[in-house]
């Protein structure tokens, strides 16, 4: 490529084909002595970007006097900026790496929504050590103005703190330089159903034609477990002979063995297998994710108000009844799947046997089914599965 002179001293040009567009372009070059007296030849620009002989001549004068940056200096500066950016662990970068290292944590979807809606725009390109306490105060003020409750604000701030602490533990960030003052929400909710409402729900379950959803609700009532745990229940996890089942990947991040009361054993023995794998599949035969809309209709149709969570009210109800009929608190703790140790020293060292758990589960069962008891000594609860009718005879004393 031969460079040709222009009418300006030290300005040259060459006609070449542009690599990107494939068009013929005129490139301009300038030759000058830099402020240190070193002779240099640099590219000034292309005609495709608006460069002309006159502009190249002006650029030559600016570089010769030191008013314009040399190409070599510009390349070194951009290289240093790129390196600094690679070493810059912003909240966005920490969050992405945090997700990569925890691909299956249970609150992932919720946390992604929280980060995207509340933290990304405000702190995404910032380093944790750059955050000032007043910025956290402004975040809280804006959240409260938006109508957020104390627990929502606490969850958002906890996620911010969790990301910063994760980077600090990995020694890629200095973390926050201060402690975040967390709100103290008063969010204790009492959602246990009254005996009248629970009785109405049991009657509604007997009368409904949707036996799959009714069976799932029965399981919620008589175990008190979280809906997400029962959604993962497989037939291979159930041992009807030993009256046991295994809940996989629970909230405590472990597999838990749980007793099956007599009522649930009879129900599972007689109910059809809607799926070869899942005990309570969705309508497509796969794993369900939550209480189905038809199950919600059953619960609402039994007179349970909209302000009560349709699935978790059953967990609260189980706990309330268990507290009345079971003497040992650690038995209730095991049945409910709570991981926090009880303050009682017995709960810290005692190992609850399956026999004790089964006894507790049957005590809760008897208390629930007593709501359907008539005037006599016996009561019959009728469970219908398609064309099959199984009568469960419950013997009780007066």
Question: Is 42 buried (19+), middle (13-18) or exposed (0-12) by CB count in 10 A?
Answer: middle
**Residue 127 domain-assigned (yes or no):** yes
Residues 6+ positions from 214 with CB-CB distance below 8 Å: 205, 208, 298
Same domain, 102 and 164: yes
pLDDT at 32: 92
Domain boundary among 122, 153, 169: 169
Domain boundary among 61, 86, 111: 86
Q: What is the 3-state secondary structure (H, E, C) of the chain?
A: CCCEECCCCCEEEEEEECCCCCCEEEEEEEEEECCCCCEEEEEEEEHHHCCCHHHHHHHHHHHHHCCCCCHHHHHHHHHHHHHHHHCCCCHHHHHHHHHHHCCCCCCHHHHHHHHHHHHHHHHCCCCHHHCCHHHHHHHHHHHHHCCCCHHHHHHHHHHHHHHHHHHHHCCCCCCCCCCCCCCCCCCCCCCCCCHHHHHHHHHHHHHCCCHHHHHHHHHHHHHCCCHHHHHCCEHHHEECCCCEEEECCCCCCCCEEEECCHHHHHHHHHCCCCCCCECCECCCCCECCCCCHHHHHHHHHCCCCCCCCCCHHHHHHHHHHHHHHCCCHHHHHHHHCCCCCCCCHHHHHCCCCHHHHHHHHHHHHHHHHHHHCCCCCEEEEEEEECCEEEEEEEECCC
What angle is formed at CA 16 by the lines to CA 11 and CA 20, rounded to 5 degrees? Answer: 120
Same domain, 231 and 260: yes
Tracing tokens 């609260």 back to the chain, one arrives at 316
Dist. CA 167–CA 175, nearest whole Å: 7
CB 154 within 8 A of CB 185: yes
Residues in the chain with pLDDT < 70?
1, 84-86, 187-190, 339-353, 374-398
Same domain, 283 and 377: yes
Same domain, 245 and 275: yes
Instruction: Count CB atoms within 10 A of the CB of residue 32.
Output: 20
Instruction: Count CB atoms within 10 A of the CB of residue 394.
Output: 18
Same domain, 234 and 378: yes
Same domain, 315 and 345: yes
Same domain, 350 and 234: yes
Is the pTM value of this prediction over 0.75?
no
CATH number at residue 314: 1.10.443.10
Same domain, 290 and 381: yes
pLDDT at 121: 94
**Residue 182 domain-assigned (yes or no):** no
Same domain, 82 and 225: no
pLDDT at 390: 40
Identify which of 230, 322, 236 has the alpha carbon closest to the alpha carbon of residue 273: 236
**Residue 189 domain-assigned (yes or no):** no
Strand partners, 256: 247
pLDDT at 118: 95
Same domain, 105 and 78: no
Instruction: For the chain, report the end-to-end CA distance as a whole number of angstroms.
Output: 108
**Residue 229 domain-assigned (yes or no):** yes
Strand partners, 322: none
Dist. CA 98–CA 119, nearest whole Å: 15
Identify which of 172, 158, 98 has the alpha carbon closest to the alpha carbon of residue 128: 172
**Residue 186 domain-assigned (yes or no):** no
Dist. CA 274–CA 254, nearest whole Å: 27
Domain count, the chain: 3
Tracing tokens 């306490």 back to the chain, one arrives at 133
pLDDT at 348: 41
Same domain, 67 and 109: no
Identify which of 220, 234, 326 has the alpha carbon closest to the alpha carbon of residue 274: 234
**Residue 42 domain-assigned (yes or no):** yes
**Residue 331 domain-assigned (yes or no):** yes
Same domain, 16 and 145: no
pLDDT at 251: 75
Identify which of 223, 387, 241, 204 has the alpha carbon closest to the alpha carbon of residue 314: 223
| Integer angstrom CA distances of residue 30 from 4, 39, 188, 366 | 11, 11, 75, 95
Domain boundary among 86, 102, 135: 86
Question: What would you measure as the largest C-alpha separation in the chain, in angstroms?
Answer: 117
**Residue 154 domain-assigned (yes or no):** yes
Dist. CA 116–CA 51, nearest whole Å: 43
- Cα 99 to chain center, whole Å? 10
Domain containing 258: what range? 195-395
């Amino acid at each position: 490529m031969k460079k040709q002179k222009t009418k300006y001293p030290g300005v040259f040009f060459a006609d070449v084909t542009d690599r990107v567009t494939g068009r013929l372009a005129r490139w301009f070059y300038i030759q000058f002595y830099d402020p240190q007296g070193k002779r240099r030849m640099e590219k000034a620009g292309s005609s495709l970007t608006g460069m002309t002989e006159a502009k190249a001549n002006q650029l030559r004068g600016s570089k010769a006097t030191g008013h314009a940056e040399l190409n070599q200096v510009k390349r070194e500066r951009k290289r240093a900026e790129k390196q600094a950016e690679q070493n810059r662990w912003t909240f966005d970068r920490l969050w992405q790496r945090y997700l990569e290292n925890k691909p299956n944590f249970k609150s992932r979807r919720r946390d992604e929504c929280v980060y995207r809606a509340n933290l990304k725009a405000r702190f995404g390109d910032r380093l944790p050590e750059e955050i000032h306490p007043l910025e956290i105060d402004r975040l809280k003020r804006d959240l409260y103005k938006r109508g957020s409750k104390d627990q929502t604000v606490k969850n958002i701030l906890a996620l911010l703190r969790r990301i910063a602490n994760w980077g600090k533990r990995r020694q890629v960030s200095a973390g926050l330089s201060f402690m975040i003052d967390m709100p103290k929400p008063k969010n204790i909710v009492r959602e246990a159903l009254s005996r009248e409402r629970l009785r109405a729900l049991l009657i509604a379950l007997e009368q409904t034609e949707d036996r799959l959803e009714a069976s799932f609700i029965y399981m919620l009532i008589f175990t008190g477990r979280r809906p997400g745990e029962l959604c993962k229940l497989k037939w291979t996890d159930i041992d009807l002979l030993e009256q046991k089942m295994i809940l996989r990947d629970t909230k405590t991040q472990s597999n838990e063995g749980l007793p099956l009361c007599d009522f649930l054993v009879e129900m599972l023995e007689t109910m059809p297998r809607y799926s070869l794998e899942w005990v309570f599949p969705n309508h497509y035969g796969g794993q369900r994710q939550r209480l189905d809309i038809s199950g919600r209709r059953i619960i609402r149709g039994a007179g349970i108000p909209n302000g009560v969570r349709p699935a978790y009210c059953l967990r609260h109800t189980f706990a309330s009844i268990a507290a009345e009929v079971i003497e040992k608190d650690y038995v209730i703790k095991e049945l409910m799947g709570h991981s926090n140790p009880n303050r009682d020293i017995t709960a810290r060292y005692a190992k609850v046997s399956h026999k004790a758990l089964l006894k507790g589960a049957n005590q809760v069962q008897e208390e629930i089914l007593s709501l359907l008891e008539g005037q006599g000594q016996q009561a019959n609860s009728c469970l219908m599965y398609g064309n099959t009718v199984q009568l469960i005879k419950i013997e009780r004393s007066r």
